[in-house]
Amino acid sequence: MSQDITGTNNGSDIGSLAFGKDEEPSTGREPLRDSQYYFEDGSLNLRVEDTLFKVHTSLLKLRPSDLEGKFECGNSTGGVENVIIPTIKAAQFRNLMQVIYCPPSDKLFLSLPAIPSDGIEEKDALKQFIFYLDVTSLAHQFGMHDVEKWAKPRLQSLVHMFGRKISRGLDGVSNDDDLGFGPMTRAEADNSGGIAEHATYEEGSRAPEADENHMEVDDEDEESSKEDSVLEVSDEDEDEGEAKGKAKDDKNSKNSHESLSEEDSESDDDYSYSGQSSDGDDGSEEEDMKDLDAKKDDSTQMIKAEDSPIFRLIDGIWYAGEISDILLLHDIRNLLQYHCTSPNYLPVDLLLSFLRVPNLRERDPPTFGFLFLLLLDHGHKTWNRPMFTQTDRMAFFSAQSYLTPLPDSLKAPSTSPLFKKLGSAKKFVEKFSNNSTLDSAVQKCYREAFSCWRQEFDDTYYENLGSSEPLVAIKALGTIPRRRLSFSEGARSIECDHRCYLRLLGQIDRDIQGLYARLAEYYQPIN
């Protein structure tokens, strides 16, 4: 028999376990046993989608977790717990289990260093991104703070340094199976079907003593494993666990990008930031792609955004926002934006499906604004297709009118020269520096960063922004994420002990997010 864990979550938030009563996430099919993490001597059955995991509570308890007390509560009945977890995917839970069950010496960890190699392949970059994201987000949700603390810096470094490779790795991927997410080698003795070592991993930790690595199953446990028991979790338990988790996380977690000052983080209004457009230089190729896209079946049946592997980037945005990691938030949003338009725009039906993600406009206005911008750039022939609603069409036609040419209200004052070209390095330095800026940064880092900026934000970009031709300026705004990513890669190469480019990039990201958040406000029907 199966029982839901009950709480207050609607399924979209990361920070707590919360599921609706008496609701099963499955399709009604009989669940299949997971090929990797269904152990006959396990003591806890977990159903995720249509997959059944059978794991060891004694091993899970080696990781301090908000769930520990709930497992103990269920165990008091003497049966095997059968718990439905409807808010995650089986592939995500499998990635978390790989960390829980993996000994410290396993090749899984030896092959995943804290800072990835420059020579990492694109598919490997994507696979590691999804792995670390799954582990960090689920560890955060389940209160496994040691696991999250180990995985989060690796996620941060990977996204910050290899966003372009992650995006290219996504090309042609339709689901997790395409990534080859299979068993990651555990100890060789595990191949026989049992767990040779029930060890957990902590960075810098030693392997547990022998008595910690073995789990004995006595006759009583064998007999009781044939029965099912009910596990219920109250709202009070959930709230208490979440509060303890946040307090501990605040104390123990250390952001790998903490070289930015508190002033930078606190001044961020946490706009959202998504997608990326192609250049004016590639206009003819882009138009060909749009024509090809328009010839496709115009059925109103669209791809569901949540079923696309690209949605993992949205998951990353939710997680970074949940833990208030501003730099991670910036990097994942830029990655999503870049991927939406590079080398060409994603298909219209997929862009529209992402625009319609529930509560996206409220939760992440810049992501909504950027997707709106990309669809706006496609023009009226696209908006007249059956997949668009009457409200959509009114919003697009209205926005095209208001945004041609770009109004001053959109060009809110900002530190970054997004709308007005700067003629000299001196003016660039004046824009970004203040009394606390080191002289060495002014003389070297900021001046070299200006060269990077001028190379990416060229004359064509500024000329197109000032155009009165329909959609020309809109297209230019869509190229900002690609330019930002290239600027980041160039500025990161500046030799500096203080990593001054992070301060520059943080301010630039805040200004870009603000711009796309303002664009979201133009999605409204004509009165």
Nearest to 504 by CA among 447, 465, 422, 426: 447
Q: Does 250 have pLDDT greater than 50?
A: no
- Contact between 176 and 232 under an 8 Å Cβ cutoff? The reply is no
Question: Given this model, what pLDDT does residue 190 score?
Answer: 35
**CA 484 to CA 178: how far, in whole Å?**
29
Q: What is the mean pLDDT of residues 188-197?
A: 30
Question: Given this model, what pLDDT does residue 197 score?
Answer: 33
Question: Given this model, what pLDDT does residue 256 score?
Answer: 39
Q: Does 217 have pLDDT greater than 60?
A: no
Q: Does 316 have pLDDT greater than 90?
A: yes
Task: Identify the helix (H) or strand (E) that includes residue 44.
Answer: strand 44-48
| pLDDT-above-70 percentage for the chain | 65
State which amino acid sits at residue 367: T
Dump pLDDT digits (tens) for 364-405: 999 999 999 999 999 999 999 999 999 999 999 999 999 999
Dump pLDDT digits (tens) for 262-291: 434 434 455 543 333 334 444 455 555 555
- 46 phi and psi, to 5 degrees? -125, 125
| Interior angle at CA 464, CA 458 and CA 467, nearest 5 | 150
Residue 88 region by backbone torsions, left for phi larger than 0, else alpha for psi between -120 and 50, else beta? beta
Task: Provide the b/e sequence for 305-314 (b: ≥16 CB within 10 Å).
Answer: beebbbbbbb
Domain ranges of the chain: 3-252, 271-408+415-520
pTM as predicted: 0.76
- 272 phi and psi, to 5 degrees? -105, 160
Dump pLDDT digits (tens) for 33-52: 999 999 999 988 989 999 99
**CA 78 to CA 255: how far, in whole Å?**
42
Task: Identify the helix (H) or strand (E) that includes residue 36.
Answer: strand 32-38
> Quick check: helix, strand or coil at residue 438?
coil
Q: Does 334 have pLDDT greater than 90?
A: yes
- Which one has a higher pLDDT value, 275 or 489? 489
Q: What is the mean pLDDT of residues 7-18?
A: 42
Dump pLDDT digits (tens) for 88-97: 999 999 999 9
Nearest to 249 by CA among 114, 149, 136: 149
Q: Does 312 have pLDDT greater than 70?
A: yes
Dump pLDDT digits (tens) for 459-472: 999 999 999 999 99
What band does 162 get if pLDDT is binned at 50, 70 and 90?
A: very high
What Rg do the C-alpha atoms of the chain give, in angstroms? Answer: 25
Nearest to 505 by CA among 518, 521, 517, 494: 494
